[in-house]
Structure 1
Amino acid sequence: MTTAVATDERSRIWSRPELGLHAVVDTEGSVRLGRPDQDRDCLVPLVEVTATGHGRRWSGERFIETSIGERLAYRGHETVHVDGRERTTIRLADPVTGLAAHVTLEAGGGGAVPGAGFLRARVRLVNEGAAPLRLESVTTLTLGGIADADGSLDGLTLHWADNDWLAECRWRQAPYRDRVVPLSRSAHGHEGRGCFERYSQGSWSTGRHLPVAGLTDRDGRAWLWQIESSAGWRFETGEREGSAYLALFGPDDAHHQWHHTLAPGQEFHTVPAVLVRTESGGLDAAFGILTDHRRGIRRHHPDHRALPVIYNDYMNTLMGDPTTEKLLPLIESAAAAGAEVFVIDAGWYDDDAQGWWDAVGAWEAAANRFPGGIGEVLDAIRQRGMTPGLWLEPEVVGVRSPLARTLPSEAFFQRGGVRVTEHGRHHLDLRHPAARAHLDRVVDRLVGDWGVGYLKLDYNINIGPGTESGTGDGPESPGAGLLGHHRAHLDWMASLLDRHPRLVLENCGSGGLRMDYAQLAVAQLQSTSDQQDFLRYPPIAAAAATAVTPEQAAVWAYPQPEHSLDEIAFTLTGALLGRVHLSGFLDLMDDDRFALVRSAIGVYKDIRPRIAAAHPFWPLGLPGWEDSWLAHGLRGPESTFLTVWRRGPGGERRALSLPHLRGVGPVPEVLYPHPSDATARWDADAGILTVHLPRPDTAVLLRWDAAH
């Protein structure tokens, strides 16, 4: 029998009309999130918990319909306002186990977007019972009752992003009914056992997928979510009583070898997650709101406003083989091109005849690479007006490094009492004071003594499910160890910025394999890829703003002296709406090629003050990996910028719809390359732009200056 949810004000304890969401207490005391006019059974409890001995009421692949979740009953709630945001904490308790759940919902509006907003959630669990409770999964946010405007699932489209080394941010879409098929529930009286899910595996949080996904309907409504975890995460969506539900998780036992024993009086905090909801505008509008949310949760830093141009010697250039002789001419040419930061990437510590990969850890400069000392090179960078930077992979110690023997065993990841080894490296556990003290000494030497102002923090191994080091009270699961380490890692990164406020930290995980907003709430930049083929980079560059704010998205631009002028312009254009990561043998270029590089950097410096307040949009939709035409834009209060790429043979013209610019004139300005034989015809009344790129493998950056 279906029980209707009461809709009087006594049962509605929280409401955000712009999100179409209300938290209501049903007749059994359960708190459920959704529309207040929906049936109880299509909704799900506000928190779902599995624990050993307390599983699910309907077995399958879903981690909803849990026994504890059904029993958690309303205790009370309170609302406060913090920094202009409404924050409500709803208190629940399970009468059987004594588990208490404190659910914090932080809501924000959509700014200029009507009928839009976001909801950020996290859960604090406290064991108020008399016996230990072994947790196996906990939701950060669950809600039900999602449907299209007709109240069905037939008009919903599911969007998710695959992620891989060299192939980041590959968005996919499918009709919801292709992934969650109708099962004729009325014929057998039960929900299905399956769901659509995506999850991380191991210590690369985005090594398989982005922790971002969404739903849209045919009328432009969108639901977009993000899980903010550098350790395990998972989301699932499926059908419940004719509507869709959504459940967002951190790590769990089934997927990440995570379980966590709560002794009486102890507590556990879930990872945060955010849901964006829009009534119109589809994914573009939703990503605009998510971009504002990301800007709101990150640590304040002057780099987010200054956006200096970065030259890095690695990509398609020195490739981990820096020396004084090779670096000095690159420093000279990078400064002449307009770079403001010069990063010496991997290899600067390589003083081992057997190679550096499995010997890293001490992070001392290699004497044979820098006969006059690395200070000579760092001084040369400063003398040319640039900030010196260095590459560092802080969480690993090579198996041949002396530190592998001198640091205590408890300072490293272990499983089954054995130190974990992966690709010639051990992994530090930053919960251990010796591991943290070692890295503090390294960074304070590089920054405090050497005057380094930029650190590229890389991470090139997947260490697996985690560590059982047991630095806390008793044994731990690998997933719990990984989550504990990552929380300590974020705290360590924040402590560096506390001691060195102007230090800039770049987050890199073999490119974009740890591209999450636990990391990016602390780090200033994110490497988007290690992709070395300039023709393969555009779909990554075009989609990067789905994963990271534009002003944090570091995109490689690696022009070479043997490139044609078209090829140089192509690789540079892709970086101009993000953060320019310049590379290439600039010192060997002729005057025409070098002038094209300088021109791009000049354009970037002109437009960068507007990047940090702009919102991304995609007039051709999110890019496909093999798409011939791609487009990515930024719209702000004063200007709209649009990058268009044409790859390979095919038509020379492409029409793009820009409804937000309808009625705005005149024809957009070609910013780069300039001069250019690319042309743009603008139908202001229809809001249609037709771009003509007469040659394949070319690109153009356009600008409209108008308020909208």
Structure 2
Amino acid sequence: MANGFSWGDDALTLRFEWGDDAPVTIASVTAKDGANTVTSVLDHRIPIVELEVAGTGHWIACDKLIHTTLGRDLRYVGHHESEERGVKRLDIDVADTAAHVDVTVTYELPVGVPMFRTYATITNTAAAAAADTIDPTGTVNPTATRADVPLSIEQVTNWASAFGAPEGQKADLAAWESIEGKYDWLAEGRWHATPLRDYFPVMAQQLTNVDPRGEHRVVSTSTWSTGRFAPLAVMESKRFGLAWLFQIEHNGAWRWDIGEDTEDAYMALTGPTNVDHGWAKNLGPGESFTTVPASVALAADFDGVVRAVTAYRRAMRTQPNHIDNDKPRVIFNDYMNTIYGDPTTAKELPLIAAAAKVGIEIFCIDCGWYDDTGNWWPSVGEWLPSTTRFPGKGGMKEVIDAIRDAGMVPGLWLEPEVIGVKSPMAAKLPDSAFFQRNGHRVVEQERYVLDLRSPEARRHLDTVVDRLVDDYGVGYFKFDYNVQPGMGTDVDSDSLGDGLLGHNRAYLDWVDGVHRRHPDLILENCSSGGMREDFAQTSRFQVQSTSDQQDFRLYPTIAATAPMMVLPEQAGSWAYPQSTMGVEESAVNINTTFLGRYFLSGYINRMSDEQRTLVEESIARYKTYVQPVIAHATPFWPLGLPGWNDKVLAYGLAAPDYALVTVWDRDSDGGTVALDLARYAGRKATITPIFPDHGVETWPVHWDAVHGTAGVQVPGDGYASRTFLIRPEN
């Protein structure tokens, strides 16, 4: 193409090209990961933005996110570069003057990180007078926009490109595999790899001179953004030595596609669409709409893109200087396999005392603290402490003061986005404060769902949070979310999906407001466990609940894969050792949380001295080896990403001076497993267990410096776990 420029820095560079009769496309992406520099050359060109509005469609009949007529017809207008607070920004303006559509595609690159964010802003440029819908030859222009008819957007990508290949090599879909995650309540983080040829059979489409029309489409609806699938995937080619990682940064409806064009594979990402989510947005003259963002990384392999997304998440979190970021504190929550939403003063005070003795730093009272009826589920919403559960003179304040007096930060569970049908607030708030369809409030499992676009809903929640912080001294909130409102709301919206998107964005803005008013407040993101692990949410929270899973034998897979979606220091995976458990079962529990955000439950006040000492020792080891480095460590998987039913699993953190690896044996046949520690190949290393490190059977370990592998002998015949410290010699 005749025109072009490059943009980026030493970590990542994008090359853009266009012609007088061709849209702006990305010609290549170059990324640096340590000593490796890789380039993907995109000879198959896809417009930097693809969009469909009412009255337009695809230039190849299909249901893909690409091949749109408007995407093909947009032409370069100009571009502008800027930088603010360590983030480089590029805005590229493209337009279709006949359709009265301007689009600004924005790229944001944190300096030194090989991953960028991208989104698009569409503007209706129709003049106040009606635009011409018939050209001088008398032909009807189907894309012309009249001033009295809004520009109705039905889908728009935030990223679309080919996969590409190294310079001098030919692109080939068959060279790639897709690594995707499936999610469900209690079964989060089930990752699997699929060769792309399994999705797209050889069809000899080149004989038709038309690209294939199908796609592999992954869709999420409503507000559980990770309720079924991950809004993130990795495309890796070992043959090419390339890997892409993309994530859609949205707490609502989204879609991503991969597919085959005859010349190459492609990927395309978007938020809500008309065909998948009942979404359309109408723009009058001069009005604009901005898409939800997505982010993209390129590296030489899977490990490289994981390093990139980990660095990106730390650079782009919305509270980069939060006091909890660098030293994530140890948490106790009274719910899981313990009080189960039935807190009372009599139950809490012994737990508080026991938690303080073992070294807990944050103590969170979970659900039920507001309920006088004994049925806490449909009574949520007013958030006034129960007087029957906390009957003492000080009420619940007696319990919160006990937490603070024991040297811990007091925390409370809150489900801010819902009002129970039996809550007094259900009658006090107007209908406009809730999701509605066809004049009826949306009801899901005995809850109404608040619409955070509503000023009344926002004021109510602000009042609740401020009262609990100011009057009770709460320093930690667990924000839960156990229902979803379906396709959206038809109140003050162009479509159901438009109302949903407006609420999604209003909720994020509300969370930002909480942080502005209470900058040291620690927030946990829980949505029936890990049902909203998107980066729009996790960028705003210090802690992420990974699951509601209550079986310690199933939890290791969830915990080990959590850093695919969240930072290691955010990943709160439950450990719930009990007085009825032996040391090996307790070790499996504790090691499930050990290399994440230490997140404890269980009746520690009922434990024997020996059992309680085990918990205390684990917290001491965590504070010595994990807490100081986790906020700067990178996750890795020495046995590969674990499968749901794998008998032996391993997960590690690579810190600057050492690595930590947890191995779980889930009733395997025993034997030796080889942990891939290639980063230390050619060096001597000492490998020592740090938890548990005494009173249990020793797992023999052999270090092979030549190949960079550690042979660990697991016992089999039961459930057991060890965490090892790997310290290389210089």
TM-score (norm 1): 0.94
Find 2:90's aligned residue among 69, 88, 91: 88
Name the residue aligned to 1:128. Answer: 125
Name the residue aligned to 2:488. Answer: 466
Offset of 1:40 from its aligned partner?
A: 9.0
| Range with bigger deviation, 507-516 or 174-183 | 174-183
| Range with bigger deviation, 179-188 or 331-340 | 179-188
Offset of 1:202 from its aligned partner?
A: 1.3
Name the residue aligned to 1:391. Answer: 413
Partners in 2 of 1:408 and 1:526 — Cα distance? 32
Name the residue aligned to 2:33. Answer: none
Name the residue aligned to 2:222. Answer: 202
Secondary structure in structure 1 of the residue aligned to 2:650: strand
| Range with bigger deviation, 197-206 or 658-667 | 658-667
- Does 1:424 pair with 2:482? no
Find 1:68's aligned residue among 67, 70, 74: 70
Partners in 2 of 1:427 and 1:86 — Cα distance? 38
> Closer, same or farther in 2 for the Cα pair 1:380/1:15, shift >3 Å?
closer
- Does 1:11 pair with 2:11? no
Partners in 2 of 1:577 and 1:26 — Cα distance? 51
Offset of 1:621 from its aligned partner?
A: 1.0
Find 1:56's aligned residue among 47, 55, 58: 58
- Does 1:437 pair with 2:454? no
Contact 1:653 1:690 in 2 (8 A): yes
Q: Could you list the per-position Cα deviations for residues 135-181 of structure 1 after superposition, in whole angstroms to 9, with x for gaps in the alignment?
A: 01010011125347653122211111001101111101111111122
Q: Could you list the per-position Cα deviations for residues 11-58 of structure 1 after superposition, in whole angstroms to 9, with x for gaps in the alignment?
A: 345477965742111341410123399999822111111111111112
Partners in 1 of 2:713 and 2:6 — Cα distance? 55
- Does 1:447 pair with 2:469? yes
> Closer, same or farther in 2 for the Cα pair 1:38/1:689, shift >3 Å?
closer
Partners in 2 of 1:576 and 1:150 — Cα distance? 45
Name the residue aligned to 2:396. Answer: 374
- Does 1:661 pair with 2:674? no
Q: Which amino acid aligns with 2:340?
A: M
Offset of 1:567 from its aligned partner?
A: 0.3
Q: How does 1:42-441 map to 2 (within 5 A)?
A: 42-108=44-110, 117-130=114-127, 131=147, 132-147=150-165, 151-219=171-239, 220-278=241-299, 280=300, 282-298=301-317, 299-300=319-320, 301-352=322-373, 355-372=375-392, 373-441=395-463
Name the residue aligned to 2:134. Answer: none
Q: Which amino acid aligns with 1:128?
A: T
| Range with bigger deviation, 435-444 or 656-665 | 656-665
Offset of 1:415 from its aligned partner?
A: 1.2
Partners in 2 of 1:463 and 1:519 — Cα distance? 18
Find 1:506's aligned residue among 520, 524, 533: 524
Partners in 2 of 1:646 and 1:707 — Cα distance? 28
Structure 2: stretches of 5+ with no match in the other structure: 30-38, 128-146
Name the residue aligned to 2:721. Answer: 699
Q: Which amino acid aligns with 1:73?
A: R
Name the residue aligned to 1:630. Answer: 649
- Does 1:456 pair with 2:485? no
Partners in 1 of 2:444 and 2:729 — Cα distance? 53
Find 2:548's aligned residue among 530, 533, 553: 530
> Closer, same or farther in 2 for the Cα pair 1:584/1:39, shift >3 Å?
closer
Q: Which amino acid aligns with 2:4?
A: S
Partners in 2 of 1:684 and 1:660 — Cα distance? 10
Partners in 1 of 2:725 and 2:555 — Cα distance? 22
| Range with bigger deviation, 17-26 or 419-428 | 17-26
> Closer, same or farther in 2 for the Cα pair 1:17/1:59, shift >3 Å?
farther
Contact 1:52 1:133 in 2 (8 A): yes
Name the residue aligned to 2:143. Answer: none
Q: How does 1:644-655 map to 2 (within 5 A)?
A: 644-655=663-674
Contact 2:674 2:709 in 1 (8 A): yes
Secondary structure in structure 1 of the residue aligned to 2:351: helix
Offset of 1:707 from its aligned partner?
A: 7.9
Q: How does 1:23-38 map to 2 (within 5 A)?
A: 23-35=16-28
| Range with bigger deviation, 448-457 or 193-202 | 193-202
Partners in 2 of 1:260 and 1:707 — Cα distance? 59
> Closer, same or farther in 2 for the Cα pair 1:627/1:231, shift >3 Å?
same
Q: Could you list the per-position Cα deviations for residues 110-152 of structure 1 after superposition, in whole angstroms to 9, with x for gaps in the alignment?
A: 66xxxxx222101111111243200010100111253476531
Q: How many residues align?
A: 689
Partners in 2 of 1:154 and 1:188 — Cα distance? 20
Partners in 1 of 2:729 and 2:123 — Cα distance? 50
Q: Which amino acid aligns with 2:235?
A: L
Contact 1:667 1:681 in 2 (8 A): no
Q: What is the Cα-based RMSD across aligned positions, in Å?
A: 1.9
Offset of 1:199 from its aligned partner?
A: 1.6
Contact 1:570 1:698 in 2 (8 A): yes
Partners in 2 of 1:194 and 1:637 — Cα distance? 45
Partners in 2 of 1:604 and 1:572 — Cα distance? 10
Partners in 1 of 2:495 and 2:92 — Cα distance? 29
> Closer, same or farther in 2 for the Cα pair 1:172/1:498, shift >3 Å?
same
Q: Which amino acid aligns with 2:307?
A: G
Partners in 2 of 1:437 and 1:89 — Cα distance? 36
Name the residue aligned to 1:114. Answer: none
Contact 1:646 1:699 in 2 (8 A): yes
Contact 1:16 1:22 in 2 (8 A): no
Contact 2:468 2:474 in 1 (8 A): yes
Name the residue aligned to 2:591. Answer: 573
Partners in 2 of 1:41 and 1:121 — Cα distance? 21
| Range with bigger deviation, 170-179 or 30-39 | 30-39
Partners in 1 of 2:171 and 2:9 — Cα distance? 20
Offset of 1:685 from its aligned partner?
A: 2.2
Partners in 1 of 2:449 and 2:573 — Cα distance? 28
Q: Which amino acid aligns with 1:252?
A: T
Partners in 1 of 2:641 and 2:42 — Cα distance? 36
Offset of 1:579 from its aligned partner?
A: 0.4
Name the residue aligned to 1:542. Answer: 560
Contact 1:667 1:680 in 2 (8 A): no
| Range with bigger deviation, 519-528 or 148-157 | 148-157
Offset of 1:242 from its aligned partner?
A: 2.2
Contact 1:50 1:137 in 2 (8 A): yes
> Closer, same or farther in 2 for the Cα pair 1:15/1:367, shift >3 Å?
closer
Partners in 2 of 1:645 and 1:274 — Cα distance? 33
TM-score (norm 2): 0.92
| Range with bigger deviation, 51-60 or 375-384 | 51-60
> Closer, same or farther in 2 for the Cα pair 1:129/1:41, shift >3 Å?
farther
Partners in 2 of 1:46 and 1:686 — Cα distance? 43
Structure 1: stretches of 5+ with no match in the other structure: 112-116
Partners in 1 of 2:163 and 2:234 — Cα distance? 15
Partners in 1 of 2:198 and 2:8 — Cα distance? 32
> Closer, same or farther in 2 for the Cα pair 1:500/1:623, shift >3 Å?
same
Q: Could you list the per-position Cα deviations for residues 223-242 of structure 1 after superposition, in whole angstroms to 9, with x for gaps in the alignment?
A: 01011000111111111232
